[in-house]
Structure 1
Amino acid sequence: MDSITHTQEFETAISVRPHSSHTYNASLSSDWAIGDAPHGGYLAALLMRVSMTHFRHTHTNRHGGDAQPINLAITFLRRCSVGSAQIEVNDLKLGQKISVIQLTLRQHDGDKLVANVIMSNLGTEKGHTVVPTDNFKGPSKELSDGNTWQRVDIPHPQFRRAPAHVEVHQPTQKKCTVVETGMHWEQCALLRWQQADRIIHGRWTNEAAGFLLDVFPAPLAELEEQVNATKGESHPVWFPTLSLNIDFKAPIGEAGLDMLYSCINIQSIRNGRMDIRVKLHNERGQLLAIGNHCTLITSPTQAQGKL
């Protein structure tokens, strides 16, 4: 179902093949990269696929046969490269309610990232629940009128090929607000792009949502403009992720969702390093996932493999 839902192109990009009971092979796609470096959200989606494939392949009956990540904590050690990769899985804990595994992604020149993943079954979770008050309000159903929401252009789309697969809209009257916790943006997003003479349109799945948690073009475009203004330049700026922690709160479901809504908060920018929190909602305002990023602001040459 996922291969139809989130497009065949995305399915191909995150596909993995078992090499043994605890190692999996993948091919990191240049279509889902920033420069020559695979996009951080794309890598998160790939790791989600490895995690679920591992339980289906090696721990078939664990968590009702439907183990899914409920927390994904990635540390990026070195810049990943487009091309072949191998992911090794270490079973840290295999439990009744939750399991913990560690993933190490390796390429020809060494370890590129490590990730700790907490697995459970989101569909069967039970327990005490308190739904927090949230002032998030999704957009009107009409995005095309241009009065309430407007489309955001992806700056330097040939450099930023991965986010160019997402059609992003932001409120026309509230592009950025300053709150006590920092700078705040809202966006709604569709998995839709033009390829040659056709429009490819998919629906958001859990794995595609992992990718979306690292797609927020409006804040990065503003930061890129600020950085270039200080240098008198107009080059793309690269924002490589040092660490990414994702908490999954609710499953999207096999049918997928046409639109997802993000609340993005940049809490601090200091000495070329910033922290970003992204909250992902469905159209009813239900919280689906939270992503926390530690990110650098740096030269695009590092994403082109020149440093």
Structure 2
Amino acid sequence: MAPLGKATSVAYDGPSAVDSDTKVYRGDVDPEWTVGHVPNGGYVLALVLEAGIQHQSSTTHRDPIHVTAHFLQATSIAPFQVRVRTLKRGRGFTNILADLVQQDRTRITTHMIFGTLEPPRLVPPSRYARRVPLYVHPSAAVETRMARPWGFKHHAKWAGDPHLRAQNLPSDPARAAVSPTTVGGGSLVWGAWFALTGPSERVTPASIAFFADTFLNMPSLLPREERGGLVPAQTWFPTVTMTIAFHAPIPPPSARHAARTVGLYSTGTFWGEPQGRHGSYVEVWTAPSELGQGVEEEGWRENQVCLATATQMALALPMEVNAGRAKYDAPSKAKL
């Protein structure tokens, strides 16, 4: 049981006995970074990403640039291996394959691109540069309750942006104006400042995978009458596929950038069958101060950068499926 920085630790175990070109990293899935009985998808992807970062640490391509992950089977609270293999090493990028294995089964398979991450080109004051899309400065943000069945609640806190949440109401002017002649429209939005509470915690490249999977999705944001009987607190939203594009290096902690707080913004548009399939788009931003601290200064948005964007496809299943998944794995937890 550990804060995120320690819970994402992996250790090099040497080359694979089957294929010397494959390097093996080991670790244990922490029992607190869960959704119900199953490890959070972004958290376990952070374990895979950390193995990839260690694998690339002695090369010229040390920074993750892009990650594509397929979640083949839910992971469990048990030991794991990450098996990493270099697919292609080029002048500007290195492509690697990394699989997370538990109980002799590949649970997650990934394709990762590494390179050298540089500061973004399109930044303020350009009118074409995107600014952090949260309305309230972290110092003035009001902490909101985490209603989800998250085992890591005491390691983190967040403050949802009320201005974004209000845009989802049926009475919002933009939504009320929707008619048969409307072009586009629809969608739901959400945003929050998210902080790791441990004083020694830091935003890291691996932790971005966790942040990108910690948000309120479209089925949860819909008005009750639009959900078709779905109850978010009784629903498990397992990730099936996830991609992350890294856009900027993480700035060191300073008066302009927080050490353990990020801004999150997400949108969702489509929801349907099979199995409540839905997609989400997420942005992970730097924060100008820690949540509940600091002072709002003029132009604070101009100094923030988008660290990464992510998309995912997920399902909406009863929480009973989540509990059943854990029972299925229970007899062989100690086996890799």
Structure-2-length-normalised TM-score: 0.73
Match of 2:310 among 291, 297, 307: 291
Distance, in Å, in 2 between the alignment partners of 1:281 and 1:37 is: 27
| Equivalent in the alignment of 2:295 | none
Tell me the alpha carbon deviations over residues 244-278 of structure 1, each in whole angstroms, 9 at most, x when there is no partner: 10000001145463421111101211121110000
Alignment partner of 1:151 is 2:149: no
Distance, in Å, in 1 between the alignment partners of 2:232 and 2:246 is: 37
Shift of 1:235: 5.2
Q: 1:140 to 1:154 in 2, by over 3 A?
A: closer
Distance, in Å, in 2 between the alignment partners of 1:13 and 1:226 is: 39
| Equivalent in the alignment of 2:247 | 249
| Equivalent in the alignment of 1:5 | none
Task: Tell me the SS of whatever aligns to 2:3.
Answer: helix
Distance, in Å, in 2 between the alignment partners of 1:35 and 1:277 is: 23
Distance, in Å, in 2 between the alignment partners of 1:226 and 1:26 is: 44
Shift of 1:229: 7.3
Q: 1:98 to 1:89 in 2, by over 3 A?
A: same
Alignment of 1:1-307 (within 5 A): 9-21=3-15, 22-56=23-57, 60=58, 62-63=59-60, 67-123=62-118, 129-131=121-123, 132-134=128-130, 136-141=132-137, 143-144=139-140, 149-156=141-148, 159-162=149-152, 165-178=155-168, 180=185, 182-192=187-197, 202-217=201-216, 221-222=220-221, 230=229, 236-255=234-253, 257-271=259-273, 272-283=276-287, 284-304=303-323, 305=325, 306=327
CA contact 2:27–2:81 (8 Å) conserved in 1: yes
Task: State the one-letter code of the partner of 1:39.
Answer: N
RMSD over aligned CA atoms reads 2.9
Distance, in Å, in 2 between the alignment partners of 1:27 and 1:41 is: 15
Q: 1:223 to 1:16 in 2, by over 3 A?
A: farther
Distance, in Å, in 1 between the alignment partners of 2:223 and 2:167 is: 18
Distance, in Å, in 1 between the alignment partners of 2:113 and 2:250 is: 18
CA contact 1:104–1:112 (8 Å) conserved in 2: yes
Distance, in Å, in 2 between the alignment partners of 1:173 and 1:244 is: 27
Task: State the one-letter code of the partner of 1:259.
Answer: T
Distance, in Å, in 2 between the alignment partners of 1:209 and 1:89 is: 20
Task: Tell me the SS of whatever aligns to 2:236.
Answer: coil
| Structure 2 residues without counterparts, runs of 5 or longer | 16-22, 169-173, 175-184, 288-302, 329-336
Shift of 1:219: 5.7
| Identical counterparts, % of pairs | 20
Greater share of strand? 1
Task: Tell me the SS of whatever aligns to 1:82.
Answer: coil
Aligned length: 279
Structure-1-length-normalised TM-score: 0.80
